[in-house]
Amino acid sequence: MTTQDTTRRDFLKAVSTVAAAAALAPTALAQDPAPKKLGIKLGLDNFAVRDMKWKAPQLIDYAAQLKTDSLFITDFGPFEKTDDAYLGDLRKMAADKGLQIQLGSWSICPTSKAWRKDPRWNTAEEHLALGIRMAKALGSPVFRVVLGNEQDRKTEGGINARIADTVKVLKSQRSLAIDSGVKIAMENHAGDMHSTELVRLIEDAGRDFVGANLDSGNACWTLEDPLQSLENLGRYALTTSLRDSAIWEYEDGAKVQWTAMGEGHIDLKKYFARFAELCPGVPVHIETISGFSKPFPYLKADFWKPYSTIPVADFAKFVALAKKGKPFTTVKNPEGKDRTETNQLSQRAEIERSIKYCQQVLGLGLKG
């Protein structure tokens, strides 16, 4: 027996333990066998399989294998070139398999803790302009970007200052975006902006070319019930990066752990019924990320300064959700096994059962 066989066996044994625990969750897999089709496109966010290190053609093949309608490539890593001819070839390759590619990248806020220069750009404005051009060549109607992460709430001027800096960058490329037919999808990312703050950013920048990349998991990192975040952001949504979440109380507040679809504590049937009403024509991209829980010690006084702008009513709904949750079991890397290989197995298993759950239980997707 090879090391790879042993790793796979140990991993699948661990996964079966978690699946058994997940069966106790409110969104367990035992659901109606033939759900009503919601007419919503279903896709894959490539970050879900990040440790595979696949290039764009491999991602296209994988998305087609999973019978998805869309492929959201949310960073430039999978692209070997950025010229229009190369990107046009990828567009055709995807179209031939019944897929549309949507494009994304990372921070465009020059004062964010997450901002990074790159050999392809020196400024945030150049980063945004490059993404708009690439999106147009790929046939992507959107270009996803982010402000930063939760550390930006603790910077000089707080999140409001970072929002203002991001709006300036967005407005600098308004004409290019409109002329290209590409809208900018700002994500509520890694605890940077509450949904109400993202709404303000979009309105300040201009709804004619800026909207939201709705991320249900990240909503939990700004102490939001994902259903309330959907209510706040749904009419601004251009695209999505979604996952389920487990939320439960502990002695200092609550913990959040992202999960495969149907294995957390979110009422996904209710979520997507409302999604269909608020976000017509917007694709659902699944971005599974797991393996850790994040504590939010909101019962400690020193926690609140960076979060003073969060609406009390929205926070109360998050607390109510946490009170109903139970601790989630995490799959650990088998001792002595290669972490990368375990991650690859875990990520593929999680996204594949999530896509299947979305298709067979929630009625998402146009294929199959």
| Per-residue model confidence (pLDDT) at position 10 | 47
Query: Is 123 in contact with 167 (CB distance < 8 Å)?
Result: no
> Among the listed ranges 17-31, 92-106, 131-145, 227-241, which one has the minimum average pLDDT value?
17-31
| Per-residue model confidence (pLDDT) at position 16 | 41
Mean pLDDT of the chain: 92
End-to-end, the C-alpha distance of the chain in Å comes to 37
Domain boundary assignment for the chain: 37-360
| Per-residue model confidence (pLDDT) at position 4 | 44
Residue 68 structure tokens = 């998805």
pLDDT surpassing 60 at residue 28: no
| Per-residue model confidence (pLDDT) at position 336 | 73
Residue 345 structure tokens = 């197995």
The domain 37-360 is placed in CATH, from the list 3.20.20.150, 3.20.190.10, 3.40.630.10, 3.30.1280.10, at 3.20.20.150
pLDDT surpassing 60 at residue 76: yes
**pLDDT class for 335, splitting at 50, 70, 90?**
confident
Closest CA to 262 of 19, 13, 16: 19
Each residue of 261-294: pLDDT tens digit? 999 999 999 999 999 999 999 999 999 999 899 9
Each residue of 40-49: pLDDT tens digit? 999 999 999 9
Q: Which residue has the tokens 């375990």?
A: 342
| Per-residue model confidence (pLDDT) at position 368 | 65
For residue 92, the Cα-to-chain-centroid distance in whole angstroms is 25
Each residue of 119-176: pLDDT tens digit? 999 999 999 999 999 999 999 999 999 999 999 999 999 999 999 999 999 999 999 9
Whole-angstrom distance, CA of residue 216 vs CA of residue 285: 11
pTM of the model: 0.91
| Per-residue model confidence (pLDDT) at position 17 | 40
pLDDT surpassing 50 at residue 354: yes
pLDDT surpassing 80 at residue 19: no
| Per-residue model confidence (pLDDT) at position 329 | 82
Query: Is 141 in contact with 183 (CB distance < 8 Å)?
Result: yes
| Per-residue model confidence (pLDDT) at position 12 | 42
| Per-residue model confidence (pLDDT) at position 2 | 44
Q: One-letter amino acid identity for 59?
A: L
Task: Give the residue-averaged pLDDT of 175-199.
Answer: 98
Task: Give the residue-averaged pLDDT of 228-235.
Answer: 98
Closest CA to 118 of 82, 88, 85, 149: 82
Whole-angstrom distance, CA of residue 46 vs CA of residue 74: 7
| Per-residue model confidence (pLDDT) at position 330 | 76
Closest CA to 344 of 62, 41, 121: 62
